[in-house]
């Protein structure tokens, strides 16, 4: 535990905030509930099981790590519960329990506690867990349940189907993409009636949760807006240049994990830049990397890698966008 007697406390007046760590975490969990409930509604008990196993195991693993490190137990701050919920929302509905446990172990032990616990991790723990599973168990992480049919497994998510249609178009079948897009329903995408990870399919629920966090001033509005705008502009330019190969921007905004990442991953106060300018640069970077991987990468989805790459660049962004303390000498910095 850090020694509080080494902290320098300035003279009064001091401002007290009612937002404690646990209070903020609980509000974020509340904001995630609409999309979680939609996932359970469409995918059934399988989705509930994944969410429950990830949430409980993350709390238990953090408690075990705290005991092993001889630290004060801090699971009451609800950060481990939130990490588990986010991890579960980023997994397919039919993920086996043992895979969930491995993901929770990677998220908490490797992604958080090894750095010192809450507030010290440079990378988003839930994204560390998902990335580890995505690389280690690609077949399991690409097995999807058809919404409304918990006993059936679909062949691909909309992004995977898009990738197949784009490949066919590049090989000479110019009508493959338009034929595929003619079969999709953007309304189904908006309400979550499509294959995908548990918490990423219902765009409506994610937007409602995001608006709640913005209204409570828990997250900055600039981060989700600039990330979504970047994805829309980047994919929109590609679509305008070659509509026979690339899907329109609304397809990319309503599918995959871009909405979940924009409101709940890129806004993580621990792993994102501190300043408003830095947050905007971070969001633009996330949007660009996500779009590049989706359009030209080997993976249909690039959100996980985009968040982790920009997490690694956060110290650099902070260093060039840091504001000048009162009375400090002038220092060059990047301003928008």
Q: Where are the domains of the chain?
A: 21-141, 158-321
Terminal-to-terminal C-alpha distance of the chain: 38
- The confidence score (pLDDT) of residue 333 equals 53
Give 175-178's long-range contacts (Cβ < 8 A, gap of 24+).
Answer: 177/243, 177/244, 177/245, 177/246, 177/247, 178/244
What span, in angstroms and rounded, lies between the C-alpha atoms of 110 and 48?
Answer: 25
Residue 311: CB atoms within 10 A of its CB come to 23
Q: Please name every residue paired with 146 in a beta bridge, in sequence order, or none if there are none.
A: 149
CA distances to 3, 11, 15, 119, 185 from 7, rounded to whole Å, are 8, 13, 17, 16, 56
What span, in angstroms and rounded, lies between the C-alpha atoms of 13 and 4?
Answer: 20
Phi-psi category of residue 196: left, alpha or beta, with phi > 0 → left and psi -120 to 50 → alpha:
left
CA distances to 141, 176, 216, 267, 301 from 263, rounded to whole Å, are 23, 33, 13, 6, 17
CA distances to 115, 125, 169, 271, 310 from 318, rounded to whole Å, are 19, 20, 42, 11, 12
Q: What is the CA radius of gyration of the chain?
A: 21
- The confidence score (pLDDT) of residue 179 equals 86
What span, in angstroms and rounded, lies between the C-alpha atoms of 141 and 118?
Answer: 27
Distance from CA of residue 305 to its chain's centroid?
10
pTM: 0.87
Tens-place pLDDT, residues 255-278: 989 999 999 999 999 999 989 999
- The confidence score (pLDDT) of residue 28 equals 96
The vertex-192 CA angle with 190 and 197, nearest 5°, equals: 125
- The confidence score (pLDDT) of residue 1 equals 47
Q: What is the DSSP string of 194-252?
A: SSS-TTTS-HHHHHHHHHHHHHTTSS-SHHHHHHHHHHHHHHHHHHHH-TTTS--HHHH
- The confidence score (pLDDT) of residue 329 equals 63
List of the chain residues with pLDDT < 70: 1-19, 148-156, 323-336
Structure tokens at 76: 């009451």
């Amino acid at each position: 535990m850090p020694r509080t007697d080494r902290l320098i406390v300035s003279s009064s007046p001091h401002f007290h905030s009612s937002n404690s760590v646990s209070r903020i975490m609980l509000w974020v969990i509340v904001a995630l509930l609409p999309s979680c409930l939609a996932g359970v509604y469409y995918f059934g008990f399988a989705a509930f099981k994944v969410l429950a196993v990830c949430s409980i195991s993350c709390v238990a693993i953090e408690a075990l790590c705290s005991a092993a490190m001889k630290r004060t137990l801090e699971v009451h701050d609800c950060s481990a519960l939130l990490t588990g919920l986010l991890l579960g929302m980023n997994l397919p509905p039919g993920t086996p329990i043992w895979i969930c446990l491995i993901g929770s172990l990677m998220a908490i032990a490797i992604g958080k506690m090894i750095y010192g616990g809450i507030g010290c991790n440079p990378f988003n723990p839930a994204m560390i867990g998902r990335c580890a599973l995505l690389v280690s168990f690609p077949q399991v992480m690409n097995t999807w349940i058809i919404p409304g049919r918990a006993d059936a497994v679909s062949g691909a998510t909309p992004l995977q189907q898009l990738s197949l249609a784009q490949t066919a178009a590049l090989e000479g079948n110019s009508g493959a993409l338009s034929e595929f897009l003619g079969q999709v329903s953007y309304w189904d995408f908006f309400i979550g009636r499509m294959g995908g990870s548990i918490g990423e399919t219902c765009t409506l629920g994610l937007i409602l949760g995001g608006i709640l966090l913005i209204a409570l001033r828990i997250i900055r509005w600039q981060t989700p807006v600039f990330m979504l705008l970047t994805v829309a502009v980047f994919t929109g330019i590609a679509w305008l240049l070659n509509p026979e190969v690339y899907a329109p921007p609304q397809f990319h905004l309503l599918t995959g994990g871009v909405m979940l990442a924009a409101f709940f991953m890129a806004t993580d106060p621990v792993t994102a830049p501190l300043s408003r300018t830095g947050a905007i640069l971070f969001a633009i970077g996330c949007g660009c990397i996500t779009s590049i991987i989706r359009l030209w990468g080997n993976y249909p989805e690039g959100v996980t890698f985009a968040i982790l790459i920009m997490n690694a660049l956060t110290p650099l962004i902070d260093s060039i966008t840091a504001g000048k303390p009162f009375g400090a000498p002038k220092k060059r910095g990047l301003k928008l």
